Amino acid sequence: MFKYILKRLGLALIILLGVSLIIYVLTRCMPVSYVEQKISQMQSVTVDETAIKKMYEMYGLEDDSFWGIIKGYFSWLGALFRFDLGRSFVYGDDVINVIADHMGVSFAVSAIAIVFQYLIAIPLGVTAATHQYSIRDYVVTALVMVGISLPSFYFGQMLKDIFAMKLGWFPTAGLVDASVDKSGLGLLGDYLSHLALPLLTLIILGIGGTMRYTRTNMLEVLSSDYIRTARAKGLPESKVLYKHAFRNTMIPIVTMMAGVLPSLFSGSMITEQVFDLPGIGNIAYKAMINADIPFIMGYNMFLAFLSVLGILLSDLMYAVVDPRVKLTS
C-alpha cells in the first residue's frame, strides 16, 4: 500500500507540472491582457510608452519571447512551491486569499447538492434497474433525460423567472438580504431562502448522470452468475437485491463519490452567475472576463490539484470497498 501511494504521488507531481506548463503557456497566449484592458479604459488620458512598459513589467508580461515565457514560467512555478499564487489584478488581494474567502459558499452549496443528488439518484437507479422496461423505468429515465438535456443557465433562469420573479416565493439573487438585519434562525432562514433555487437547479440537473450510472451497474450485477445462483438457492428477492446485488453496485459508485472533491471547492460557475452567489465560481468568472491573469492561473492550478487529489482518493477508496483489489503494484 505504501509503495503504491508513493508511486501515485510521484505520478501526481508529474501531472501537476505538465498542467502548470499548459496553463502558463495558454494564459500567456491570451488575445487580451489586464494591462491592455486598463489602457483601453483610459482613452481620455494620454498614456505614454514608458508608463505602459512599466505596467507590463509590474505584471511580468514585458517579454513575450520564447525565453521570456520560459523564464516567467519557472519564476511562477517557484512561487507555486511557496504557495504563492500571485496577486489578483481585479480584486487587489492575494489569489489564495480570494479563493479562501469565497470557497466556503461554493463548498456549502455543492456539498448539500451532492448529498441530495445521491439520496435521490441511487434509489431511482435501483428501482429503474429492478423494474427494467416497466412503466416505472420509462418514466424515471424520461424525467432524468429531460433534466440532463436542460442547460444549467436555462434551467436556473427558468426557475428564477417562475418562483422568484413571478410568484415571489424566493429572492432573485444574492446570498443574504442586506436591507434586513437578522441573526440566529432568521439569518439561517434567509440563507436557505436564497440558496433554495440554486440548490434545486444543481440537484435536478445532477441526478441524471448518477441515476444512469447506478442503473447500468445494477443491471450488470443482476445478470451475474452469483445472482442467478442466489436466486436458484431460494433466497428471498429482497435479500438478493439489497444484500448481494446492491452492495456490489455500490463499489464503483463509492469510487465515483471520492472523485467529487474538485466539484466541492471549484464552485458552479454558471449557476452562481445566474443567481449572483458570491462563490468561487462567480468570482472566477468575473476574473476571467477581466483577463485577471494571476487569478486565472492560480485558480486553474487549484482545480488541477484538487482533481489529482480526487483521483488518488478514488484509487484508494476502490481498494477499501472492494477487498478483491490489492494495491501492491
**Domain spans in the chain, listed from the N-terminal domain onward:** 104-292
Tens-place pLDDT, residues 125-158: 888 888 888 888 888 888 777 777 888 888 888 8
Tens-place pLDDT, residues 94-117: 888 888 888 888 888 888 888 888
Q: Which residues contact 73 (CB under 8 A, 6 or more apart)?
A: 20, 21, 24, 25
Can you tell me the distance from the alpha carbon of 109 to that of 200, in angstroms, rounded to the nearest whole number?
Answer: 10
A 10 A CB-CB count for 125 gives 26
Instruction: Say if residue 43's pLDDT is above 80.
Output: no
Instruction: Say if residue 329's pLDDT is above 60.
Output: no
Which one has a higher pLDDT value, 173 or 38? 173
Which one has a higher pLDDT value, 55 or 170? 170
Which one has a higher pLDDT value, 31 or 215? 215
SS3 labels along 139-193: HHHHHHHHHHHCCHHHHHHHHHHHHHHHCCCCCCCCCCCCCCCCCCHHHHHHHHH
Tens-place pLDDT, residues 213-234: 888 888 888 787 877 887 787 8
The whole-chain average pLDDT of the chain stands at 78
* Cα 61 from chain centroid (whole Å): 30
Backbone angles phi, psi at 189, to 5 degrees: -65, -35
- When pLDDT is cut at 50, 70 and 90, the band that residue 49 belongs to is low
**Maximum distance among all Cα pairs of the chain, rounded to whole angstroms:** 88
Instruction: Say if residue 266's pLDDT is above 80.
Output: no
The answer to whether domain 104-292 has CATH 1.20.1070.10 is no
A 10 A CB-CB count for 277 gives 24
Amino acid 194 reads H
Can you tell me the distance from the alpha carbon of 103 to that of 269, in angstroms, rounded to the nearest whole number?
Answer: 12
Confidence (pLDDT) at 63: 65
